[in-house]
Amino acid sequence: MTEQEPPGLLTIRTIAMPSDLNYEGDVFGGWLLSQMDLAGGIAARWRAKGRVATVAIEAMQFHTPIRMGDEVSCYCTEVKVGRTSLTFRVEAWVRRRDGGAQEKATHGTFTFVAIGPDGRPRPVCP
């Protein structure tokens, strides 16, 4: 069987460490959310060619738990570019520590705003 290819651009790949776990031994949802926010922020910064800030996170869904030592990869797909905002779908995929194929763990929609030197929204090149 061929491995399903995640959609979008690989932006972050990391390993779930002991300090990222909740008291049940699974990865804390907030840690995963922050990785996805970082990944989307990188993609948005590339697209906006400069500083961005997260303005909204919506439609988060957690499909499967992540455990210590699992490899976590975040893939970003551009959904929409407005006048000053950029929306990306971010998917987190997990490969278990003992190998095997990646599976989708979580996805969400992240919106960023391009920020100018004055800290206010600035237009993005179409």
Ligand X SMILES: CC(=O)SCCNC(=O)CCNC(=O)[C@H](O)C(C)(C)COP(=O)(O)OP(=O)(O)OC[C@H]1O[C@@H](n2cnc3c(N)ncnc32)[C@H](O)[C@@H]1OP(=O)(O)O
Q: Which of residues 95-114 bind ligand X (CB under 6 A)?
A: 111, 113
**Residue 26 token pair:** 């699974």
For position 35 contacting ligand X by CB under 6 A, the verdict is no
Contact 110, 56 (CB under 8 A): yes
For position 84 contacting ligand X by CB under 6 A, the verdict is yes
For position 50 contacting ligand X by CB under 6 A, the verdict is no
CA distances from 51 to 1, 34, 61, 104 (A): 42, 17, 27, 29
The whole-angstrom separation of Cα 101 and Cα 103 is 7
- Measuring CA to CA, which residue among 53, 43, 58, 57 is closest to residue 121? 53
**Sole window of 2-10, 50-58, 67-75, 94-102 interacting with ligand X (rule: CB under 6 A):** 50-58
Nearest approach in angstroms of CB 43 to ligand X is 16
**Sole window of 5-13, 77-85, 88-96, 101-109 interacting with ligand X (rule: CB under 6 A):** 77-85
Partner residues linked to 57 by β-bridges? 110
For position 11 contacting ligand X by CB under 6 A, the verdict is no
Nearest approach in angstroms of CB 88 to ligand X is 12
Which positions touch ligand X (CB under 6 A)?
Answer: 53-56, 82-85, 111, 113, 121
